[in-house]
Amino acid sequence: MMDRSEKRRHKRLGVQYNISCRKVGSTANRAYDGHTVNVSPGGLYFETATGIFEQGNLLKVELSIPPTSGLLEFGGKIAGFAKVLRTVSASGRYGVALQFCRPPKLCI
């Protein structure tokens, strides 16, 4: 069996948060929703019901973080800009891999 080493710079955390994103520069000022599959300081992977995203798109993303005892008592949002690296289509769902342009900001 071949040992495949991890080539990513950041470890991924398998968490499911609600995500909302908008295409930067789009005339249709519409938000698209989905949920994360995993998140890291360098990017994230999310699933959505729409196949509108394409490689190279620049998105404004916002993750809703639920209240967490001892960490974020009232919850918050993580917001930033990210570039679409790739998309995957399977069973009517769409997966989108994003790379943050700079570290996202936590908004409480």
CATH at residue 63: 2.40.10.220
Residue 49 covered by a domain? yes
Domain count, the chain: 1
Residue 44 covered by a domain? yes
Residue 2 covered by a domain? no
- Whether 108 shows a pLDDT value over 90: the answer reads no
| Band (3; pLDDT cuts 50, 70, 90) | very low
Residue 12 covered by a domain? no
| Band (7; pLDDT cuts 50, 70, 90) | low
Range of the domain at 72: 18-107
pLDDT for 59-98, tens place per residue? 999 999 888 887 778 888 999 999 999 999 988 899 999 9
Q: Own/partner pairs for 14-22, CB < 8 Å, 24+ apart? A: 14/38, 15/39, 17/63, 17/64, 17/65, 17/66, 18/63, 18/64, 19/44, 19/46, 19/61, 19/62, 19/63, 19/64, 20/61, 20/62, 20/64, 21/59, 21/60, 21/61, 21/62, 21/82, 22/59, 22/60
Residue 80 covered by a domain? yes
Residue 3 covered by a domain? no
pTM for the model stands at 0.85
